[in-house]
Amino acid sequence: MQRVVCHFCDTLHEAPAVPEGTAARCLRCGVVLYQNRPASLVRTTAFSLAALALMGIVHGFPFLIMRAGGMQTELSLYRAAHELVKEGSLVIGWGVGLCTIVAPLMMACGMLYVCTPLLFGRAAPGARVVARWISLTEPWNMIEVFLLGVLVSLLKLGQLADLEFGTGFWAFAALMVCMAAAVAGIDRNELWDRLEVAGE
Ligand SMILES: [Zn+2]
């Protein structure tokens, strides 16, 4: 039996599986220890799939369209990162690429790899390693921060050129929501429990 420590009062509990839609609470202080969210695997799988589809749209369509002095420039997310590297902002360019392209892609693929077989009561080979890897990638998935940065710089750029959000931008905003929903869909403890039951 797995054990879990209450993050509020440090009491040690055994962690049995709880029925769907219910939560395990600390016996001493009543704080929620972990929960079995309804349809958690289906939700995480569906949102991860949607996230992958949105990534295709983000990279297939312009992110920003700029018009100044009769010239029109279309900027994709990949090109934005590429330009930053080319212009000498190597760290920022790689940072943008890592946080907005690589980390979300790895997380969505990882969640699909772990959760899809679990829907059928099976664990994919190495699912535990991948699940741990997802937890490590999570802090690098900084789509929201990037989006906020883009909006702030747009306010400044807006005075120099005519700006328009492209399809890629809206797909990126939707991607942010999908990734958050996919990550929030499943409880960490619940995932370990399910992997254990499935025999990984
Ligand atoms: Zn407690």
Report yes or no on 46 lying in a domain.
yes
Report yes or no on 70 lying in a domain.
yes
Give the distance (Å) from ligand 1 centre to CA of residue 42: 30
Sign of CA dihedral 83, 84, 88, 91: negative
Give the distance (Å) from ligand 1 centre to CA of residue 194: 24
pLDDT above 70 (res 34): yes
Report yes or no on 116 lying in a domain.
yes
Give the distance (Å) from ligand 1 centre to CA of residue 43: 29
Give the distance (Å) from ligand 1 centre to CA of residue 102: 38
Residues 89-148 pLDDT 10s: 777 778 878 888 888 899 999 999 999 998 887 888 989 899 888 888 877 777 777 777
Instruction: Give the count of domains, the chain.
Output: 1
Taking the C-alpha atoms of residue 22 and residue 19, their distance in angstroms, rounded to an integer, is 6
Report yes or no on 24 lying in a domain.
no
Task: Judge residue 12's burial from the number of C-beta atoms within 10 Å of its C-beta, 0-12 exposed, 13-18 middle, 19 or more buried.
Answer: exposed
Report yes or no on 2 lying in a domain.
no
**Range(s) of the domain holding residue 159:** 42-186
pLDDT at residue number 200: 59
Give the distance (Å) from ligand 1 centre to CA of residue 33: 8
pLDDT at residue number 46: 94
Which region among 31-45, 119-133, 151-165 has the lowest average model confidence (pLDDT)? 151-165
